[in-house]
Amino acid sequence: MVSLVGGEDGNMPVQAEVFESYGTIRFVNMFPIIMSALVSGGTLVIDEFDASLHPMALMSIVNIFHNDEVNKNKAQLIFNTHNPIFLNSNLFRRDEIKFVERDDDTFCSTHYSLSDFGTSGRNGVRNGGEYMKNYFVNQYGAIKDIDFTSVFENLLESRGELFKDGTESEG
């Protein structure tokens, strides 16, 4: 993508990368790949789909794949993300939401679907449920309690920048 900026004659080509964000450039670069999948009816696999992209742009792409009038050849979109915004019953069916959980002892991963929880009982997952809320209260697993506080405290203390009582040094 090239933009024109005033030079001596008023027009000087400048690469869009100079002005556009990484997310915008990534979004524009994705279009031919998305089109290819839609035209061929192929399967598009994207790693870290949400990296640097606006959530509304991502939702639009997902909706294109769900739209039978646009996606006439039944192309599929498969992606991974750490963004819980996709845990949305209005966007995906329970069988379309997958989790990967790593065992801390064996380092082996288990892959399972939200639909594997069934629809009844204490851990049942119903259509229209509050998937994101339930994810954050660890109803589905695949979430770790991440707290880097002690790591930073130890590093700051070793540098003499944090006293034992938690107050900061002067310098």
Largest CA distance in the chain: 73
Q: Which H or E run includes 15? A: strand 12-15
| pLDDT for 82 | 87
Of the candidates 140, 136, 143, the residue with the CA atom closest to the CA atom of residue 114: 140
- Strand 43-46 versus strand 76-79 pairing type: parallel
pLDDT, position 8: 63
Mean pLDDT of the chain: 84
Q: How many helices (H) and strands (E) does the chain have?
A: 4, 6
CA 81 to chain centre: 3
- State the angle between helix axes of 22-40 and 55-66 in degrees (0 to 180), rounded to the nearest 10: 0
> DSSP character for 120?
S
Q: Which two tokens stand for residue 101?
A: 């959980």
Residue 97 CB partners (closer than 8 Å, separation 6+): 86, 87, 113, 114, 131
pLDDT given for residue 23 in this prediction: 83
The pTM is what?
0.72
Residue 98: the pLDDT is 94
pLDDT, one tens digit per residue, over 147-165 is: 899 998 888 888 876 555 5
CA atoms within 13 A on the CB side of 153: 9
Measure the CA dihedral 14/18/20/21, to 10°.
160
